[in-house]
């Protein structure tokens, strides 16, 4: 009996000791990046033109270019990992990867588990309908069924509870009152339901204007309605706790904006410069 008790205590003590090593120390991540010479970047290759996968398994897109340049200016190699979006936004990366250059909007909720050191561009969000739709303006979509990604900023916008936690957020208004919101795993699923026909499953969808344009270019029978409803800042994200890494990322992104590198990438992938506030 005594032996069993002792064993129990030992196991508990071991558990505590192990758990104490889990939290990130200041500068720890940056030190490791420099030591190993590799910057691990999470990317979600489901979003052309930000990030998509080529047939040989490598990546391309705006986010990919920004991340590659970020690593180059840190003097290290870049390496991409592809965890699902909800794994990235759950935080507590535990050193599995160092930064997310994944077009993430710094919302108040996400800022509780992640740091957002640097905004690197601003993407317009727009409403999209089937080419046959009669809707001419955003107001025409009031009361209709609108599709979007679940738990994302577009979902928040449709629910009128979008809180972006960053400086220089362009002001916006809630101009549409959906009758019903249908949420999907990701907003590109919305296009697939929308292409079935006007009103078959959805009357409209909301997504990033560049993503909508990419779908239209790929032959989807879609049409953008009205002007963009809001511009969201998109940021590099890091795990909580490494101020030195954050400062370094912020410095490099600022540098890339000042010397026109971001504008150049933006022109390449979006055809317009959206690297600064509109």
Q: Which residues bind another protein (CB under 8 A)?
A: 15, 18-22, 42, 45-48, 52-57, 81-84, 86-87, 90, 92, 94-96, 188, 191-192, 214-215, 218-220
Question: Which is closer to another protein, CB of 48 or CB of 147?
Answer: 48
8 A C-beta contact, residue 100 and residue 204: no
CB of 149 to another protein, least distance (A): 13
Question: Which is closer to another protein, CB of 8 or CB of 94?
Answer: 94
If you search the block for the tokens 């409803």, which residue do you land on? 229
CB of 21 to another protein, least distance (A): 5
HEC assignment per residue over 179-194: CEEEEECCCHHHHHHH
Contacts of residue 30, defined as CB under 8 A and 6 or more positions apart, other chains included, come to 242, 244, 245, 248
Question: Which is closer to another protein, CB of 165 or CB of 192?
Answer: 192
Q: Please name every residue paired with 124 in a beta bridge, in sequence order, or none if there are none.
A: 231
Question: Which is closer to another protein, CB of 176 or CB of 214?
Answer: 214
Strand 222-239 with 46-47, pairing: unpaired
Question: Which is closer to another protein, CB of 55 or CB of 171?
Answer: 55
CB of 4 to another protein, least distance (A): 10
Secondary structure (3-state) at 43: coil
The tokens of 64 are what? Answer: 């990919």
The tokens of 121 are what? Answer: 């561009």
CB of 257 to another protein, least distance (A): 28
DSSP strands (E only) in 187-221: 204-208
CB of 129 to another protein, least distance (A): 17
């Amino acid at each position: 009996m005594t032996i069993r008790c002792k064993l129990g205590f030992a196991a508990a003590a071991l558990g505590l000791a192990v758990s104490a090593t889990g939290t990130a120390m200041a500068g720890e991540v940056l030190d490791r990046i420099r030591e190993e010479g590799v910057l691990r970047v999470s990317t979600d290759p489901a979003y052309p033109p930000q990030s998509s996968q080529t047939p040989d398994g490598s990546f391309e897109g705006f986010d990919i270019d920004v991340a590659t340049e970020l690593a180059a200016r840190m003097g290290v190699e870049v390496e991409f990992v592809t965890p699902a979006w909800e794994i990235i936004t759950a935080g507590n990366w535990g050193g599995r990867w160092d930064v997310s250059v994944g077009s993430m909007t710094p919302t108040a909720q996400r800022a509780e588990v992640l740091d957002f050191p640097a905004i690197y561009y601003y993407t317009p969000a727009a409403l999209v309908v089937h080419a046959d739709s009669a809707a001419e303006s955003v107001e025409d979509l009031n009361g209709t069924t609108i599709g979007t990604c679940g738990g994302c900023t577009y979902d928040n916008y449709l629910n009128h509870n979008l809180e972006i936690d960053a400086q220089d957020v362009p002001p916006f208004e809630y101009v549409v009152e959906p009758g019903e919101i249908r949420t999907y795993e990701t907003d590109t699923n919305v296009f697939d339901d929308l292409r079935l026909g006007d009103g078959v499953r959805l009357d409209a969808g909301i997504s990033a204007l560049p993503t909508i344009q990419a779908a239209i270019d790929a032959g989807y029978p879609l049409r953008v309605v009205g002007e963009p409803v809001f511009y969201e800042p998109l940021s590099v994200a890091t795990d909580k706790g490494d101020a030195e890494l954050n400062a370094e990322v912020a410095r490099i992104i600022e540098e890339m904006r000042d010397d026109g590198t971001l504008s150049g990438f933006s022109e390449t992938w979006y055809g317009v410069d959206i690297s600064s506030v509109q």
